[in-house]
Copies of this chain bind each other. A is one copy, B any other.
Amino acid sequence: MNNVFKALADPHRRELLDLLYKENGQTLGDLCKCMSMSRQGVAKHLALLEVAQLVVVVWQGREKLHYLNPVPIQQIHDRWIGKFEGERLQALETLRKALDDQNDA
């Protein structure tokens, strides 16, 4: 799970996910055309996305096709964001009250 958060921390990697979202199954070369960075730079980012299992690769001859795997993102939502979401209104209310108290003092 930590790998997923770390992988999502870099804007270039989120951009790669966006590119695969627009068109799934792209090769490294395809993705490089959209990124202003060396091929090896892009490959490194993709490697981290693979470790986090946000991207799954399928070899086809000498081409490496990259596919989006939505499962880890779903898990982040279910196990982590959903938790905060549930108490969202209460947290906001607590915060509002604390700010009010501060203004009174």
Contact = CB atoms under 8 A, between A and B. Distances in A.
Interface of A: 2, 5-6, 8-9, 11, 14, 17, 21, 24-25, 56, 58-60, 65, 67-71, 73-74, 76-77, 80-81, 83-85, 87-88, 91-92, 94-95, 98-99, 101-102, 105
A62 B14 CA distance: 40
Given A5-B8, A9-B6, A73-B81, A56 B95 contact: yes
For the residues of A in contact with B, the DSSP-based class is helix
B95 A69 contact: yes
B21 A84 contact: yes
A20 to B, nearest CB: 9
Given A6-B9, A58-B99, A77 B81 contact: yes
Contacts of A24: 91, 94-95
A87 B21 contact: yes
Contacts of A94: 24-25, 67
